[in-house]
Amino acid sequence: MALIVQKYGGTSVGTVERIKNVAKKVVAAKQHGNEVVVVVSAMAGETNRLLALAQQISELPDERERDVLLASGEQVSSSLLSLAIKDLGQPARSFLGHQVRIETDKAYGKARIKSIDSTRIKRALKAGEIVVVAGFQGVDEEDNITTLGRGGSDTSAVAMAAALQADVCEIYTDVEGVFTTDPGICPKARKLDRISYEEMIEMASTGAKVLQIRSVELAKNFAVPVHVRSSFSEAEGTWVIEEDKSMDSVLVSGVTYDKDEAKITLLKVPDRPGLAAQIFSPIAEAHIVVDMIIQNASEDGTTDLTFTVSKADYKKAISLVEKTASAIQAKGIKVDPNIAKVSIVGVGMRTHAGVAAKMFRVLAREGINIEMISTSEIKISVVIGEKQMERAVRVLHEEFIEKQGNL
């Protein structure tokens, strides 16, 4: 008998009919002799609807109250799924984040899970019940409701699997697995049978929407096998697992893109020790994640400093940077929200030289200007104009995946 954690996304539970279909899948897993814990997202569109309501009240809603509001979406879907499972003759019990005691830090809207008390879940499983847990949410040490950010139900599911020492965490979504790139942009994109934790972390961090980055980091840290698959078919999906030697033979596993970034430049910053810390400390304290940073060579004792943040955070980041710019006597700020980040990812890069040069040649051939560059051991990312993003993805996929015999 296996212990399985299943997660169903918003599209999978987007209607009552789909919730009933999910209930059938869950019950089938139980009837095969497994213990089953299910984590659910809010119904498709519900989080955006609730956020829009908050923004009708206030342009910048209080973060604590916003999380209280947004967490209600998963309360609805977890209850409806539990009802649907019971209607099929199986005992089920739903839990909210505070009932399970998913404890997080205090970062409203992007909280990190600190611990999970699995006592009540284990008790319910021992009683033969299917457990349904509201994803995306937890509570801090003072019992304030917190949410984990977009895609946070993935993190809830993997954290639950780790806490329960589950045999597998199945992530059900509206696609059949992890693809080499977005099939909507490249019709020749294909589903990957397997991908390493490290590659999936890089793909998630560079725009792939199939899994949230923190969920993959947790899976890697606790060695949780993750199976990404479609809730609308029985096809085998993509396994996210430990790297093995066979994966090194593939130079590039995926081409990703992210349009959800904005670029901020501080002009003529005095070039002296400590100013970078002065600029970025308030941003960090506001829980804003900075992605890429470039500092130009110093001229006349000043330098330009450019960095990127998510579009969701860039207005807040600008307000913080404006205060700092005045304090450090920078000459001004430029903002460009019309950018995109395009990346290639693959563990094979570790053992192959010249990958970056080839990527830059391909983009230059297409007349695509590179504004920023960032690299890791298995990833190369470039920032380009948003209008050129789709063409960049297509030509890079053709050059690194289609022509390399990966298709």
At 166-185, the pLDDT tens digits run 999 999 998 899 999 999 99
On the 0-12 / 13-18 / 19+ scale of CB atoms within 10 A, 127 is exposed
Share of the chain above pLDDT 90, in %: 87
Residue 405 pLDDT greater than 70, yes or no: no
Span 253-258, mean pLDDT?
96
Residue 373 pLDDT greater than 90, yes or no: yes
Residues 10-43 have pLDDT tens digits of 999 999 999 999 999 999 999 999 999 999 999 9
CA distances from 50 to 198, 213, 379 (A): 34, 24, 36
Residue 195 pLDDT greater than 70, yes or no: yes
d(CA 102, CA 118): 9
Q: What is the pLDDT of residue 406?
A: 47
* Cβ–Cβ under 8 Å, residues 130 and 27: yes
Q: What is the pLDDT of residue 352?
A: 84
If pLDDT is split at 50, 70 and 90, which confidence band does 248 have?
low
* Cβ–Cβ under 8 Å, residues 9 and 41: yes
Question: Tokens 């539990």 — which residue?
Answer: 82
- Out of 21-30, 90-99, 225-234, least confident range: 225-234
Which architecture, in CATH terms, is 3-174? 3-Layer(aba) Sandwich (3.40)
If pLDDT is split at 50, 70 and 90, which confidence band does 249 have?
low
Span 245-252, mean pLDDT?
75
Run of H or E residues at 15: none
CA distances from 40 to 64, 91, 222, 242, 306 (A): 22, 17, 21, 26, 39
Average pLDDT for the chain: 94
Residues 262-289 have pLDDT tens digits of 999 999 999 889 999 999 999 999 999 9
If pLDDT is split at 50, 70 and 90, which confidence band does 353 have?
confident
SS (H, E, C) 195-235: EEHHHHHHHHHCCCCCCCHHHHHHHHHCCCCEEEEECCCCC
Write down the H helix ranges in 2-71.
16-31, 46-57, 63-70
If pLDDT is split at 50, 70 and 90, which confidence band does 7 have?
very high
* Domain boundaries, given as residue ranges, for the chain: 3-174
Q: Rounded to 10 degrees, what is the CA torsion of 256, 257, 260, 263? A: 120
Residues 50-89 have pLDDT tens digits of 999 999 999 889 999 999 999 999 999 999 999 999 999 9
Span 382-402, mean pLDDT?
96
d(CA 322, CA 317): 9
Q: What is the pLDDT of residue 407?
A: 44
Residues 307-344 have pLDDT tens digits of 999 998 989 999 999 999 989 999 999 999 999 999 99
Span 96-115, mean pLDDT?
96
d(CA 53, CA 49): 6
Q: Are strands 145-147 and 137-139 parallel, antiparallel or unpaired?
A: antiparallel
